[in-house]
Amino acid sequence: MQNLVRTPKNLGHAIRQARREKNWTQAELATRSGVWQETISKAEAGKGGTKLDTVFALLAALDVEIMVEKRSKGMSSEFDDIFE
């Protein structure tokens, strides 16, 4: 799995995708990560304001990581999400 993440919405989608690949419910991820199910729901929906510690707890439970790279050139439609 590889996802381009530039917005909270992109990150939420990546978390949801990783969770579904493991066939876990949000409740199962909550148990494994120590994060409330309601918080997972908000993060997966792309709601801003999720704490970094929470994001890293979810990523660790899902056994995925973030790789930071120089921003690639993309089509203008890809950048529209940044300002939503």
Task: Please check whether residue 71 lies inside any domain of the structure.
Answer: no
In 3D, which of 83, 72, 62 has the Cα closest to residue 4?
Answer: 72
**Identity of the amino acid at 59:** L
- CATH number, domain with residue 32: 1.10.260.40
User: Structurally, how many domains does the chain consist of?
Assistant: 1
pLDDT tens, position by position, 59-71: 999 999 998 888 8
pLDDT tens, position by position, 12-38: 999 999 999 999 999 999 999 999 999
Task: Please check whether residue 45 lies inside any domain of the structure.
Answer: yes
Note whether 3 and 13 are within 8 A (CB): yes
pTM for this entry: 0.81
Note whether 9 and 81 are within 8 A (CB): yes
Task: Please check whether residue 79 lies inside any domain of the structure.
Answer: no
Task: Please check whether residue 76 lies inside any domain of the structure.
Answer: no
Domain encompassing residue 51: 8-66
30 vs 24: CA distance, rounded Å: 10
30 vs 67: CA distance, rounded Å: 24
14 vs 11: CA distance, rounded Å: 5
Task: Please check whether residue 31 lies inside any domain of the structure.
Answer: yes
